[in-house]
Structure 1
Amino acid sequence: MTQNTELAQVEAQVEAHSASLKKELGVRDLALTQILFIIGLTWIGVAGKLGPSHVVMWLLAIVLFYLPMSAVVIYLNKLMPLEGGLYQWAKIGFNSTVGFLVAWNLWLYVIVFTSEIGLQAATYLSYALGPRAAWITSSNWFIALASAVILTLMAVAATIGLSVGKWVHNTGGVFMLIIFGILIGLPFIGLASGHLTEFHPFRTKLPEFSLLNLNLLGKMGFGALGGFEYIAILAGETRAPARAMRKSVFIAAPLIAIMFILGTATVVAYVPTNDIDLIGPMPQVLRAGFGPFGIAGPLVTIAILMTLAMRLGQVSVTFTAVTRLPMVAGWDRLLPPWFSQLHARYRTPVNSVAVVAVSSFCLSLLSLIGVGRAEAFQLLFNAGGIFYALTYLVMFSIPIFGLRSVTPRPPLWLRLASWSGLLMTLLYVTLSVFPIIKVASVGVFAFKVASLIVVMNLVGVGVLVAARRRSQRFEQGA
């Protein structure tokens, strides 16, 4: 593939900045991190709402979104294996404005995603400790304290860097494989012991055509299966990033698909559709499945605590990677150089780490004001997902509309795959302003989500305009 001179120059500039970063990641690290990052524990609960028709919906999501996403990510990362990942792809594929807004929405997504961790930690602990601990899920002070402690630990780990962080992520990936192995094996144990009368993991009942099912399809496509591009943010800290990313996708992709389908089948087998807990479906089904066994109590507690550890690992992945985005934006003078300053010993963007941690904690406090537990979670969940989805609209648009100065053009099959992913992501964005749980007012809920998306992107535009004016004054003064 031949590239024009401008592209080569941009890549050379980014690689020069990346030279000071430590190259800690290999294929194994990427594959385990992708399994950890993509397997969202809530999605087996969301898909479980479909009952026996979940298999057909998972297959549709895989064909229409998962496979196209994998192909586009491999193509773009091979062309531009640069620190900053999708930010760099958007900047080179379109322009610096699009690149900045992609980074801004990714940053907002992580702020929202990490702000949920106190609420989710309380939910998992309540399942692990049993009925006597049910109070902690409705205790605002406990949730706030949990958020503060966890985010502080995340900031410390991100500051030390991937020499430590990769082992946190690898351990989380191994835990994910173990827990899903237990989850997938649970119905067979139930059948053998007589506690489960039947189990049909591959029942292919056709789903009804409805707005709710379209909403769920979008969530099971982009929401559940998206994420392969995220680890590319750390390309500058990866050994042979183009080759490593491609191999890790080939390893992780089939495992993730199998885990989602069979994991959802276990939820459907043990929990009535209307009773599925969308915040903590994994501990819910483990307790339901192991409950009939007299010695299952301690085993369930251990499994639930491992699940909580996985969730913390997922937050660590998102937290660590997103702290690199202000750093690379600082390289391009789209943010003050303060964001690009590296720790003298660990060579990590310590100032960016602090900003992400403080912002996430502040949002976690705001989300607890004035709404119930489930509605607070759903509001954050929907808004964060839309921030992330907006970046995917750009990613899928790059092979279709971008890269005008690069020859040869992306092949036709890749552009068709990009259209499929683009339309699935649009479906997700359009329907995610509406909740899939009962709330006090659907209209007010949708207004809150849409307003948050618009206002925060306008703030991003303001930050970009201010940065450009500051850069112009700097150049004039020089």
Structure 2
Amino acid sequence: MGFGPFVVTTDLDRAERNVEGRSVALKKELGLRDLVLTQIVFVVGTAWVGTAAKLGDSHVSFWLLAILLFYIPQAAVVIYLNRLMPLEGGLYQWAKFGFNDFAGFMVAWNLWLLAFTVMALCGLVVTTNLSYSIGASAGWMQESKWVVPIVSCVLTVSLVAVSIRGLSLGKWVHNAGGIIMLVTYGALVALPFISLARGELKEYHPLKIVAPTFSMFNLNIFSKMVLGALSGFEYVAILGGECRSPARNIGRSVIVAAPFIALMFILGTSSVLAFTGGEHVDLIGPVPQTLSIGFLSLIHI
């Protein structure tokens, strides 16, 4: 009986070595740059700033509270576990080796279910974004019974094709998505300052601190900001077997991406609030809605 812990440790070490052995055959496609941009794609969305705008001027306080209570601890846990077990499969392997096979299965099953849910939402989000990009004449697209399913099918088939090709192609999709997200949020953040300089906005205080009110509605929005907007760092670790120096680079990608993501959320919400007031924000497409309002106001000057 005295050898129990030793046997368990040996079995875990052997299982980890088996995973590492299978990962050797995988191409190491992902470097630090790829991982940072992938972090931005996985964490930042275009809808969460609209959700946070419902909190009004107190959104900065709630964002800071969410970052303190969840975002930073989550980043620390991901960095620690990835250094401890830099394995292909990431959080699936962490749950499996940390608890048992059933826990690992439940994590993997939940990730599979999440992928279905996200893909269903992506069709609606992309359709909404397209309708704002085209203009008022395309408003019917959001209500169409055919456009959203067609867009969803095209997205799903395209992503399956990219996945079959592997990360030699997939990493460029991630990189392009990360760059597009940075450019889009850059425009979103800059727009209020441009409007302020041109006299379109009378005042703009993007980092205004207002004491939060803990009503049931605010706590509901806060929970979405914490568990929805600020989660996602753990997903990149799933690709650990296809990263160069995963124990080091995945942790570094979290450290590099985290400040940018926090600023994108806080300043992006302030921009949405400045142009929509929060009451009339489109919760599906707040970013294209805000950009269309802001750019139209500049054009008509």
TM-score band, normalised by the shorter chain? Answer: over 0.9
- Residue of structure 2 aligned with 1:182, choices 187, 192, 203: 187
1:132-162 C-alpha deviation (Å, 9 max, x unpaired): 1111111111111111112111111111011
CA distance in 1, matches of 2:89, 2:38: 17
Deviation of 1:214 after TM superposition, in Å, equals 1.1
Deviation of 1:128 after TM superposition, in Å, equals 1.0
- Structure 1: tracts of 5 or more residues without a match: 297-478
- Structure 2: tracts of 5 or more residues without a match: 1-5
Q: Indicate the residue corresponding to 1:5 in structure 2.
A: 10
One-letter amino acid of the counterpart of residue 33, structure 2: R
1:179-228 C-alpha deviation (Å, 9 max, x unpaired): 11111111110011011111011111112121111111111112111111
CA distance in 1, matches of 2:101, 2:152: 34
Q: Indicate the residue corresponding to 2:3 in structure 1.
A: none
Superposed CA RMSD in Å reads 1.5
Q: Which has the higher contact order (CA 8 A, sep 6+)?
A: 2
Report 1:241-390 matches (<5 A): 241-294=246-299
Counting aligned pairs with the same residue, the percent is 54
CA distance in 2, matches of 1:275, 1:167: 36
One-letter amino acid of the counterpart of residue 157, structure 2: T
Q: How many residues align?
A: 295
One-letter amino acid of the counterpart of residue 110, structure 1: A
Deviation of 1:6 after TM superposition, in Å, equals 2.2
- Residue of structure 1 aligned with 2:176, choices 171, 176, 179: 171
Q: Indicate the residue corresponding to 1:84 in structure 2.
A: 89
- Kindly indicate whether the alpha-carbon contact (under 8 Å) linking 2:91 and 2:238 is maintained by their aligned counterparts in 1: yes
One-letter amino acid of the counterpart of residue 193, structure 1: R
Q: Secondary structure at the match of 2:37?
A: helix
With normalisation by structure 2, the TM-score equals 0.95
CA distance in 2, matches of 1:12, 1:230: 22
Say yes or no: does 1:45 pair with 2:11.
Answer: no
- Kindly indicate whether the alpha-carbon contact (under 8 Å) linking 2:195 and 2:298 is maintained by their aligned counterparts in 1: no
Say yes or no: does 1:240 pair with 2:245.
Answer: yes
Q: Indicate the residue corresponding to 1:34 in structure 2.
A: 39
Q: Indicate the residue corresponding to 2:227 in structure 1.
A: 222
1:164-193 C-alpha deviation (Å, 9 max, x unpaired): 110111111111111111111111100110
Deviation of 1:29 after TM superposition, in Å, equals 0.5
One-letter amino acid of the counterpart of residue 123, structure 2: G
1:243-300 C-alpha deviation (Å, 9 max, x unpaired): 011111110011111111111111111102221111000000001111122289xxxx
Report 1:96-175 matches (<5 A): 96-175=101-180
1:38-60 C-alpha deviation (Å, 9 max, x unpaired): 01111100000011000000000
Say yes or no: does 1:191 pair with 2:196.
Answer: yes
Q: Secondary structure at the match of 2:282?
A: coil
CA distance in 2, matches of 1:63, 1:294: 40
Q: Secondary structure at the match of 1:23?
A: coil
1:71-113 C-alpha deviation (Å, 9 max, x unpaired): 0001111111111111100000000001100100111011110
With normalisation by structure 1, the TM-score equals 0.60
One-letter amino acid of the counterpart of residue 73, structure 1: V
